[in-house]
Amino acid sequence: MSVPKERLDAFLADLRAAFPEGLDLTTELDTLAPYGRDESDLGEFPPQALVRATSTAQVSRILALATKHHIPVTPVGARSGKSGGSLPIEGGLALSLEKMNRILEVNADDLLMVVQPGVFTAQVDEAAEKLGLFYPPDPNSAAYCTMGGNVAENAGGPRALKYGVTRDYVIGLEWVLPTGEVLRVGRRTGKGVAGYDLVALFVGSEGTLGIATEITVKLIPRPRVVKTALIPFKTVADAAKALSSVLTSGLWPRTLELLDEVALQAIAGRGLPVPPEAGAVVIAEMDGNHEAGVLSELAMLVDQCASWASLEAVVAQDESQRERIWAVRKEVSPALRALTGKKISEDIVVPRSKVPEAIERFKAAGKREGLTVATYGHAGDGNLHSNVLYRTREDWPRVEAVLAEMMAVTVELGGTITGEHGVGLAKKRFLPLEQPEPLRELQRRLKVVLDPSVTMNPGKIWE
């Protein structure tokens, strides 16, 4: 789908006239092409024009003109999204925030940081660390995804188990509505409850309600000691049962990551010390301020897993061993894709007690269609990256059948179809499984209030 040439040309002419000082605007096909792809494997949808904005004032004027001309606008961060959120499926304008990439303030006294949306997530925690502070949200893509994208998707990561997700840290936003109005919402204080919580509404809005041009996040004191254990199991079912029992035993690790036998096969030979008989591994991490205390709690966790038939655990002896474990963990997603060439990565969440059943039923659904389902991810949160592996587009009907069953099972078990990646384009057909029509209709009405011309990231979330 694309905007008719006449309408697009009128918009571009107005845009050029509005910025006599110049604007990073292009319609050159080679430059547009990469802005039509992300990490969702959903296909290529290049925009008809691209602006790489450099200021809030630019974003505001561009959105006002796009609304006037009824031009679809798709906000773009680093295009690492897995639900197709940044794909301009109706053509029009891709509005990239990649050049708004400065850290504006690090305030240790008030425990906060103010950043532009194009700052990479890892840079935020690195800046916090210099002051002994901590920005916990840690998507595995942190090195190359942006804070704007994290806000839009309410990104999480392994540490969400103990510390929560992006929404738990964003306390204020400068936000440009689709009409071009610039709002400042939220606070700079530890607490604040005045009015409706618009920050909570905008975080997770998947680029459909406007654009974050400035983000204020809270920071917390950084734990001084972190210890990591690699706990192998013979089967993924044993590992999944052990995970539930860890959390009910009174321990509060900061990560409980799970890798099943297919994930282990994908990363074989990359330096993870796992015995050959292992069919699953758990990466458990404890933190605190006293080394002996942290080690003792990690030992309690390992003992707890032993009562669920874990094999011999390995505790990382130094920072370089810890880093190696996490480096390999970050390679799981591309390594799985390399096994068959193509995959669809889901990010469902089920109640913790249902993790073993969910994993088993997803694998069975794949088997029925002759496809492999690999599961890894933040199992301590019940958040599973179950990946359907496939080879060619001809496999697609079978992939669809497996995905549909996985989503139905998830909802049946009391879960949600997305815990991290968002609904975007990938999951909008499954949203009715989880949310009844009156609830979806209420949210659509809310969108129209904020985006009267319905031009902001159209075709996402809602059918």
> Closer CB to ligand FAD, residue 166 or residue 310?
166
Closest CB 87 distance from ligand FAD, rounded Å: 8
For ligand FAD, the binding residue among 74, 244, 372, 455 (CB under 6 A) is 74
> Closer CB to ligand FAD, residue 155 or residue 284?
155
From CA 35, how far away is CA 242, in angstroms rounded? Answer: 43
Q: What residues from 28 to 57 belong to the interface with ligand FAD (CB under 6 A)?
A: 38-39
Distance in angstroms between the alpha carbons of the first and the last residue of the chain:
15
Burial class (CB in 10 A: 0-12, 13-18, 19+), 398: middle
> Closer CB to ligand FAD, residue 369 or residue 420?
420
Interface with ligand FAD includes 207 (CB under 6 A)? yes
Interface with ligand FAD includes 141 (CB under 6 A)? yes
Interface with ligand FAD includes 148 (CB under 6 A)? yes
> Closer CB to ligand FAD, residue 147 or residue 298?
147
Interface with ligand FAD includes 162 (CB under 6 A)? no
Short-list 349, 350, 351, CA closest to 420: 349
- Site for ligand FAD (CB under 6 A): how many residues? 36
Closest CB 210 distance from ligand FAD, rounded Å: 7
Short-list 170, 86, 78, 46, CA closest to 422: 86
- Determine the interface stretch with ligand FAD among 145-153, 238-246, 305-313, 365-373 (rule: CB under 6 A): 145-153
Interface with ligand FAD includes 80 (CB under 6 A)? yes
For ligand FAD, the binding residue among 49, 211, 283, 325 (CB under 6 A) is 211
Rg (CA), the chain: 23
From CA 397, how far away is CA 381, in angstroms rounded? Answer: 30
For 236-252, give one letter per residue: b (16+ CB within 10 A) or e: bbbbbbbbbebbeeebe
Q: What residues from 389 to 428 belong to the interface with ligand FAD (CB under 6 A)?
A: 420-421
Closest CB 331 distance from ligand FAD, rounded Å: 9
Closest CB 378 distance from ligand FAD, rounded Å: 7
For ligand FAD, the binding residue among 36, 92, 156, 458 (CB under 6 A) is 156
Burial class (CB in 10 A: 0-12, 13-18, 19+), 315: middle
For ligand FAD, the binding residue among 48, 60, 140, 244 (CB under 6 A) is 140
For ligand FAD, the binding residue among 237, 326, 457, 458 (CB under 6 A) is 457
Interface with ligand FAD includes 386 (CB under 6 A)? no
Interface with ligand FAD includes 146 (CB under 6 A)? yes
Interface with ligand FAD includes 217 (CB under 6 A)? no
- Determine the interface stretch with ligand FAD among 11-19, 204-212, 280-288, 397-405 (rule: CB under 6 A): 204-212
> Closer CB to ligand FAD, residue 80 or residue 372?
80
- Per-residue x/- marks for ligand FAD, 264-303, CB under 6 A? ----------------------------------------
> Interface with ligand FAD by CB under 6 A: which residues?
38-39, 74-82, 85-86, 97, 117, 139-141, 145-146, 148-150, 152-153, 155-157, 206-207, 211-212, 333, 420-421, 457
